Amino acid sequence: MKNTIKMIIVLTVLGLLSGAALVFIYRYASPLIAQNQKDETEKAIYKIFPEGKNYDTRIIGEDSVYKVKDKNGKLLGYAFPASGNGYQGQIDMLVGIQPDLATLAGIEVLDSQETPGLGQEITTEKFENQFKGLKVSPSISYVKNQKPQNPNEIEAITGATVSSKAVVTILNERIAKIKKDLNK
């Protein structure tokens, strides 16, 4: 009996201490983590729009859209997050589109768990640069093992068609939605 009480006391005290320690670290870390995420988004925005000087955030439904402007206040385009399932896990991207909503300004893969050496190549400049100036209508498509012929095509990564296709699918879905949202 004495032992049971001791067990309960020890476990309760331990639980309380552990909970308290975690609340403390959570309080310390969460603003820093939020800041890191914001920095990451900002960095990606200015990478896609190198002439961008500032941006306004607009919330549509649950999504954020960033209106990016240059130093004279001229609208350069819109940036927005896009995510979906890749080959091994979620792919998170930031997408930039020009004000006409027909041409991509670029994409930046923020987070992905694709196979290292194959699918993970979607995070390389070589792959991302293909999206600069890409036409989004009627929709983006991909070709395998050959140079793209049309202005709406990209070349899939050899050995990682699934990952390349996932990126294209996520983009098409998200762009269709953003067009609707922005025209409202």
Interface with another protein (CB under 8 A): 3, 6-7, 10-11, 14-15, 18-19, 21-23, 25-26, 28-29, 32-33, 36, 40, 85, 88-90, 111, 113, 115-118, 159, 161-162, 165
Opening angle at CA 162, ends 143 and 86, nearest 5: 130
Shortest distance, CB of residue 179 to another protein, whole angstroms? 25
Cβ atoms of residues 138 and 114 within 8 Å: no
CB-nearer residue toward another protein: 14 or 102: 14
Residue 81 to residue 118: CA distance in whole angstroms: 23
**What values do phi and psi take at 53, rounded to 5?**
-115, -35
Structure tokens at 26: 């959570």
CB-nearer residue toward another protein: 19 or 151: 19
Shortest distance, CB of residue 10 to another protein, whole angstroms? 6
CB-nearer residue toward another protein: 70 or 92: 92
Under DSSP, is residue 98 helix (H, G, I), strand (E, B) or coil? Answer: coil
Shortest distance, CB of residue 68 to another protein, whole angstroms? 23
Residue 162 to residue 24: CA distance in whole angstroms: 42
Return the bridge partners of 107, or none.
Answer: 95
CB-nearer residue toward another protein: 21 or 75: 21
Shortest distance, CB of residue 8 to another protein, whole angstroms? 9
Q: Which residue has the tokens 């920095």?
A: 39
CB-nearer residue toward another protein: 16 or 176: 16
Cβ atoms of residues 69 and 52 within 8 Å: yes
Shortest distance, CB of residue 21 to another protein, whole angstroms? 6
